[in-house]
Structures are given as C-alpha cells and as structure tokens.
Structure 1
Amino acid sequence: MARTKEFDRDRALRRAVEVFWDRGYEAASTEDLLAAMGIGRQSMYNAFGDKRRLYLEALRHYQAESGAEMFERLSSADSPLSALAGVLLEVARQTEEERRRGCMAVNASTEFGQGDQDVGAIVGGGVDLCYASYERLLASAKRAGEVRPDLDERAAARFLYSTLVGMRVQARSGATPETLHDVATVAIDGLRAR
C-alpha cells in the first residue's frame, strides 16, 4: 500500500495566504496554489477542501495574524492617540511592495463586495473588532485629554477605520508615502483637543 506524503499543514496554509494576498481569489489558480504550497492536488483537497474553502481558511488565518499584530501595536503605544496615529502612519511607512499588496481583508472586500456572505462575515468580524478597539482607545484618549471633549467615539472609530481602508486602497493604487502621511496626519489632527 502506498504511503501518503505528509506535509506541514500550517506552512502550506501560510503559503496559500501569500498567493491569495498577492493575486486575489479569482487570479490565483489552483496550480499557483499547489506550487506555492508544495503539495499535490489530492493533498490539497484532503487537507483544505476546494479552492474556495482554502481561500476562506486563508482569509481567516490572515485576519487572525494581522489582527494580533495590530492589537499588539495598539497596546504598546505611549498614548491612546499615538496608538491610533501609528495604525494610520504604518501604511505610509510600508515598503513599496507592502503598499502594492495592500491588506488581504480590504482586497477581499473590494474583490467580492457584498456578493459573498462567507467572505463578508470574515471581513465583517475584523471590522467589528477594529471599531471596538478604536472606540476604546478614543474613550481613553478623551479621558487623557488628547482628543476633543465632545468627540463621539463611535463615529470617530468608524471614521478612522474608513480612513485606514481608504489609505490601503490608495497605497495599493500607487499613492506615495508622502500622500499617505498627509492623510493620516490630517485625520489624527482633526481629533486632537485644541
């Protein structure tokens, strides 16, 4: 009886994330995925199911990893407002290649729109976490006197998230670091206490 070839599932998944992140769902062929993952077609089907299920798992994996990184940055900043500024300014500080890739979740949103409920649920969960985190930081910034006392934290959290998404789309479209820096600076300055 032939023995099946074993592989590192987590490593294969991380490689699939890279392919989907670079190319999106439609442009990533099964052959591209198999080559990057270093596995055969049957191994992919056995471990991940079809391309769609692999994509959904890759998107969930990306959301978990990138979310953990962002929340680490938010919790390690000197102040709540500087934490939020850091999230926006990070886009301006990315390399040209990082800006070109964008954010896999934003890319998924623009590729699928409202046409795929599963993708929408994964992305929406990340959006909700961002809103809640930004809102908490803005409440802390208000208590610290860093932002206007009349600031609506909920509305401002949504504004900051929308600004971040817009910056990521601009970055992917070729916006310069200077342009992205200007957007981030104006967004944060509009929240500051006077």
Structure 2
Amino acid sequence: MARTREFDTEAAVSRAMELFWTRGYEATSVRDLTQHLGIGQGSLYAAFGDKDGLYRAALEHYRTTLAAEALRGLKEGTGARSAIRTLLMERVRVAVENGGQGCLAVNAVCERLPQDAVTRRSVRDMQEASRQALTEVLRVARERGEIAARHDPHTLAAFLVTFLNGLLVSSKITPDTHTLEPLVEVALTILD
C-alpha cells in the first residue's frame, strides 16, 4: 500500500526556493534540502522526482509568485516612469536582501546555463512576461504623450529587461540600494 504524502508540497517548494536562492543549485545538496524542508529523501524523490525536479518547481514558484507580483505593480495606473522606477527599485530591494542574494532567475541563468535547457526556457518565459508587460505600459505611455512618439515600446521594454538583469547581477557584487538607485535614474532617461 502506498504511503500518503505527509507534508505540504507547496510549502516545501517555497522553502526549497529560499534555499536555492540563498545557496544556489550546486551548493545545495539533497541532504540540505531534506533537512531544510523537514522531509525524508524518499518523500522528496516521490514528490519531485529528484533535486532537478524540486529546483524546477522552485523556479516555477518564483515565476508565479514573486516575479508575477513585481509585474502587477505596472498595471496600477500610475505614470509609466513612476511604475517602471518602482518595479526596478523593488527588484533591487529584494535582490540586496540577505547580503545580496540577487534574483533567483538571474542566479539560475548564471549558474545553470548553457547546459540546462529547461532552466533557459523557464527564465526566458519570465523575461518574456516582463517584456510584454513593460511593452504594454510603454505603448500606453506613448499614446498618452508620457514618452516621445519616436520610441518603440518593444525595444525600450527589451532594453529595460536587459538593464534589470545586469542590475541584479551588480546587486550581488554591491548589495546597496543607495549605490544602485542612481543607475535606475540613468536608465529612466531613455524615456525622455
């Protein structure tokens, strides 16, 4: 008779996400995961297949919670410049927490690519969602006259996502919002 799962899978994925985010994939062992999650190795394998399966679940959890939440602020109806500044600075704030843990998605790219095609697709999907959300905000801003008509919203959005990726890597080197905030202001000048 099969044993029933005796732990909350969603809570386990959330806790695993935190551990992978803090330590990285390679530095996190199965033993670290089982101890941190308070489950047995057999339960981990039964629920997620293996460490990779749990890592993918953690990335998906990140995408549907923190990454999605960051984009919701873009839809609140404030001006484009203010909404984009808030998005960028909030991402910096989260990245510098705990001594500069960075961004789980950017960390995953730096650690797992080019070998891990599944991680590439997962992070590419997150970035595409960011580009689409920013493109829409910038398209509306151009129609309202908030940004010059000469600007292509899609290109600006792609630049902002690329800038954010670099900013999040920099946040690991210099985990200080006061140092990184002026860089956000410089990036926002592209909207002029």
**Normalised by the size of structure 1, how large is the TM-score?**
0.91
**In structure 2, C-alpha distance between the alignment counterparts of 1:158 and 1:95, rounded to whole Å:** 20
1:4 shift after superposition: 5.8
Aligned to 2:22: 22
Q: Is the 2:95–2:102 contact (alpha carbons within 8 Å) kept by the matching residues of 1?
A: no
**In structure 2, C-alpha distance between the alignment counterparts of 1:156 and 1:148, rounded to whole Å:** 12
Q: Is the 1:99–1:171 contact (alpha carbons within 8 Å) kept by the matching residues of 2?
A: no
For 2:28, the aligned partner's letter is A
Q: How does 1:43-192 map to 2 (within 5 A)?
A: 43-94=43-94, 96-98=96-98, 100-192=100-192
**In structure 2, C-alpha distance between the alignment counterparts of 1:108 and 1:117, rounded to whole Å:** 11
From the superposition, tell whether residues 161 and 117 of structure 1 become closer, same or farther in structure 2 (CA, over 3 Å).
Answer: same
Query: SS at 1:149's partner residue?
Result: coil
Q: Is the 1:89–1:181 contact (alpha carbons within 8 Å) kept by the matching residues of 2?
A: yes
**In structure 2, C-alpha distance between the alignment counterparts of 1:106 and 1:12, rounded to whole Å:** 22
CA RMSD of aligned residues (A): 1.9
Q: How does 1:4-23 map to 2 (within 5 A)?
A: 6-23=6-23
Aligned length: 192
Q: Is the 2:95–2:171 contact (alpha carbons within 8 Å) kept by the matching residues of 1?
A: no
**In structure 1, C-alpha distance between the alignment counterparts of 2:85 and 2:106, rounded to whole Å:** 19
**Normalised by the size of structure 2, how large is the TM-score?**
0.92
Unaligned runs of 5+ in 1: none
1:81 shift after superposition: 2.4
1:58 shift after superposition: 0.9
**In structure 2, C-alpha distance between the alignment counterparts of 1:5 and 1:115, rounded to whole Å:** 32
Q: Is the 1:134–1:157 contact (alpha carbons within 8 Å) kept by the matching residues of 2?
A: yes
Moved >6 Å (runs of 4+): none
For 1:13, the aligned partner's letter is V
**In structure 1, C-alpha distance between the alignment counterparts of 2:115 and 2:3, rounded to whole Å:** 41
From the superposition, tell whether residues 3 and 139 of structure 1 become closer, same or farther in structure 2 (CA, over 3 Å).
Answer: closer
For 1:137, the aligned partner's letter is V
1:91 shift after superposition: 3.8
For 1:52, the aligned partner's letter is D
Sequence identity (%): 37
1:116 shift after superposition: 0.9
From the superposition, tell whether residues 92 and 57 of structure 1 become closer, same or farther in structure 2 (CA, over 3 Å).
Answer: closer
